Every structure is written in C-alpha cells, then in structure tokens.
Amino acid sequence: MKRQSGSFMTIIFACAAMLATAFAGLIAIPPAAQAQGQPLRLVALGDSLSAGYNLPQEAAFPTVLERALKAKGYKVEVTNAGVSGDTSSGGLDRLDWSVPDGTDGVILELGANDMLRGLDPAGTRKNLEAIVERLRARNIPVMLAGMYASRNLGPDYVQKFDAIYPEIAKTHDLVLYPFFLDGIAGDRALNLPDGLHPTAKGVEIIVERILPSVESFLARLSQR
C-alpha cells in the first residue's frame, strides 16, 4: 500500500505540475517581458492638446506618456503627430504622412477644434470614422481619445457631439478614453491663461488618468 500510495502521489504532483505549466501560458505577459522585443511604435495623432501648445517638448503629452509607460516596464516610442489648430478634417488630410508605415498603434485625439468652431458634428463623425477605417485598412489599430462639447453650445449640439466618440468606439470595437481633459477641464491652476490648454502639470494629470486605457490598448497590440 505504501508503494501504491507513493506512486499515486507522484502522479498527482506530475499532473499538478502540467496544469500549472498550462495555466501559466494563459497569463498575460508582464510588461517587463515586452522589453526583450522591438519597441511598440505609437503615434499620437491630434491637435494642440497632443502637440503640447506653449509647452517645452519634454512636457508634451506624447513625451510624458512615453515616459510613464517606460516607467511601468513597457518598451515604447510615442511619436508626436499633434498639430495646433487641427480639425478632424485636417487630421484626415494629413493622415498618410503623419502615420508612417510600421506604426503599431495610433492614439486618435481630434475633434476639439471642430467643436470650438461649432462645426457640424456629423462632419466630425464622418472624418473620425474615415481615419479609423483608413488606418484599419493599413492594419494599424486605433485608440480613441474623446472630447465633450462645451455646454454653452446648446443641448442639441452637445448631445450630437458627445455621442460621436462612444458610438465610433462601439462600432469599431476601439479602446475609448471618453474625455481627454478629464480632471483638468475648468481648473485654472492646471490650464494656461487661455483656459483651453493644459499646463505641464495638467498634462501629467491627463497621462495619469489615461494610462490604464493606454495599457489596455497595448494589451490588445501584444495579442496581434
């Protein structure tokens, strides 16, 4: 009986080891492991909020985001493709040269200037969807950074504009960060004197809040 018992326990431990090995294969690869391969090449395609209006380059959103991701063990390069004053139409027009071949993913942050100019939300939606579809045709995934309309534009405009980003994200199964300026909008201490653009501290808060969504996006990229 002792020999049988010993053999039985040996089989149990062997099976347990096999199950543990199989289970380990299902666990997501930790960020540090990604550093062994090539860096993920991201492009932040946006307007002045991405470009870093009136800020030094090291304080702009793409640079601060890259720094934060590297601090968490990701090997990434985030290119700044932000153009101050750009609309969704402008972003669509320059898409091909702003997002080079070999890009692994795009963080799309456009539409704020459409809203500030009171442009028809239907046009903004059409342009953003065209950007997403053209990038998808190039096999480049997109994460969508949303915007809310200023409430003084009236309830009809607000309703139509605010619906753009969640509906596009749902239609195209995109990672969505609903409001790029979350946590800093309306805070004078975190915005430049114009009240529209974040200070360096404001950018840091934007990155801190958007980081979990970007990590979800990177997880999708690693599964491709």
With H, G, I as helix, E, B as strand and everything else as coil, classify residue 190.
helix
Answer whether 217's CB lies under 8 Å from 141's CB: yes
Query: What's the rounded Cα separation, in Å, for the pair 40 and 75?
Result: 6
Of 98, 120, 197, 213, which one is the catalytic site residue?
Answer: 197
Q: Which one is catalytic: 47, 48, 88, 114?
A: 48
CA neighbor of 44 nearest in space, from 28, 21, 68: 68
Q: What is the dihedral of CA 190, 68, 84, 57, to 10 degrees?
A: 90
Structure tokens at 79: 């290119």
Report the 10 Å Cβ neighbour count for 131. 23
Contact 76, 141 (CB under 8 A): no
**From CA 128, how far away is CA 16, in angstroms rounded?**
50
Please choose, from the candidates 213, 148, 217, the residue with its C-alpha nearest in 3D space to the C-alpha of residue 179.
148
**Could you report how far apart the first and last alpha carbons of the chain are, in Å?**
52
> Of 93, 173, 194, 216, which residue is the catalytic one?
194
Q: What is the rounded distance in angstroms from the CA atom of residue 194 to the CA atom of residue 73?
A: 36
Catalytic residue list contains 194: yes
Residue whose token pair is 């009136």: 54
Which active-site residues does the annotation give? 48, 194, 197
